[in-house]
Amino acid sequence: MFEIILKETKDFLRDRSNVFFFLIFPVLLVFLLGNLLSNLDKAEEAIGEVKIHYMVEAENVVDIMTIEGFVSEVSDEQNIFFDKTTDLEASKDNVENGNIASIVVFTGNPLEIQIYEGIDRIKNRTINSIINGFSQVNKAVNVIIKSNPMSIMDSMNSKASNDVFIKQKDLGIQRTMLDYYAITMISMLSFMCIMLGTMCFMGERQNNTIYRLKIAPINQVKLFLAKILGLLPQVVLQMTILMTVSVLVFGAKYSSNMFDNLYLFFMFLVVTFTVILIGAVIGLFVKKNPSVITFPIIWVMMFLSGTYSKEVFIDGVTQKMPIYQIQEAAFDLVIFGRYDRVNTVIIICSSISLIMLIIGAIGFSRRGEQ
């Protein structure tokens, strides 16, 4: 088995087209997408001081402690100032006069957040972003109440503003497009590995070496598994290069926590293994260039999942894309440190892998070559 894994690695690394396609291309994409598009995300004007009044009406002790902890953590001495208030009406006057940016009221059980927005669009967006982060962590319900009369009219006339706010994929606090693409490019790399899977046996067929493998006195199930495992060192190498280069060279951020980064790496490794297995099974049964079938499907799925642009979100379609779910799980981990979705991805992928392994091994051992 070791010999097969070694052979696969050598075969891969000595093929220049592979090196470009799987190692250099994703890194270039992170660089290009991250740098070019991050300019679109840059503020055109300074945010300045953001003064926020907050009011705690929540009664649950845990909620209160969470709110106070959050406020104290988010408040900094540079431009974000949270001041506690007990007089909502007086604070509303301050919002209308532009003395403060907005009022945030934490109320209800389960926790609900009401934001009384001011007239400054940029500051409103900043506050929304901060509170959105908090609400995602604590699963609170956001209710935006605009103090700006025009905004109130907009809110009343259009349901879209709330929808957009709730459904928009947030980059999290202090995160850039580069960070977004660093994650989606790993995801892209993972799914592009379907080509490795489909080519795995097709390559042997093209080289005619499949005959030698099939008549060799080794267990065919073991051989199938070894062929697949032989692709993993390449995947580990690709992802390591992608993550390292995007962090060290381009300054992308994953999680601040090393364990979470390793866990993210592990999740993508499991995903890639599954994708390779699916590709290998397809390649086993579709003998004439299976990439022609698989690649367009993957590219469309990646497009619909917002892999190439975070602005792509088609309600009812995007959420159904496995790639989107995997990306969301990754964002959940690196932004909020949550493991639930990542664990779900790992479990589902492991189950699919097991099924594919069984189908592939049986198919490979029973299928004759003509």
Decide whether 6 or 90 has the Cβ nearer to other proteins: 6
* Complex with other proteins: residue 212 or 320, whichever CB lies closer: 212
**Which CA distances in Å does 252 have to 247, 262, 351?**
5, 16, 32
> 105 has which bridge partners?
55, 114
Closer residue to other proteins in complex, CB, 40/215: 215
Least distance in Å: CB of 132 to other proteins?
50
Per CB under 8 A, the list member of 143, 160, 218, 358 interacting with other proteins is 218
How do beta strands 50-56 and 80-84 pair? parallel
Using CB under 8 A, which of 24, 143, 216, 317 touches other proteins?
A: 216
Contact set for other proteins, span 103-132 (CB under 8 A): none
Distance (Å, whole) CA 265 – CA 239: 8
Please choose, out of 5-13, 77-85, 305-313, 335-343, the segment that lies near other proteins by the rule CB under 8 A: 5-13
Cβ of residue 66: shortest distance to other proteins, in angstroms? 57
Count of residues that interact with other proteins, criterion CB under 8 A:
20
213 binds other proteins (CB under 8 A): yes
Q: Tell me, residue by residue from 173 to 212, as one string, x for binding to other proteins by CB under 8 A and - for no binding.
A: ----------------------------------xxx-xx
SS3 category, 50 = strand
Residue 365 · residue 220 · CB < 8 Å: yes
User: Segment 341-370, which members bind other proteins (CB under 8 A)?
Assistant: 368-370
The secondary structure of 72-119 as a DSSP string is HHH--SSSEEEEE-S-HHHHHHHHHHTSSSEEEEEETTTTEEEEEE-S
- Which one of 10, 84, 121, 167 is in contact with other proteins (CB under 8 A)? 10
- Contact between 21 and other proteins per CB under 8 A: no
Helices (H), 170-219: 177-192, 194-207, 209-215
Distance CA 208, CA 211 (A): 6
H or E segment and range at residue 328: helix 322-336
- Taking CB under 8 A as the binding criterion, the range among 71-79, 118-126, 216-224, 237-245 that sits at the site for other proteins is 216-224
Distance linking the first and last C-alpha atoms of the chain: 25
CB of 234 to other proteins, least distance (A): 13
* Residues at the site binding other proteins, with contacts judged by CB under 8 A: 3, 7, 10-11, 14-15, 207-209, 211-218, 368-370
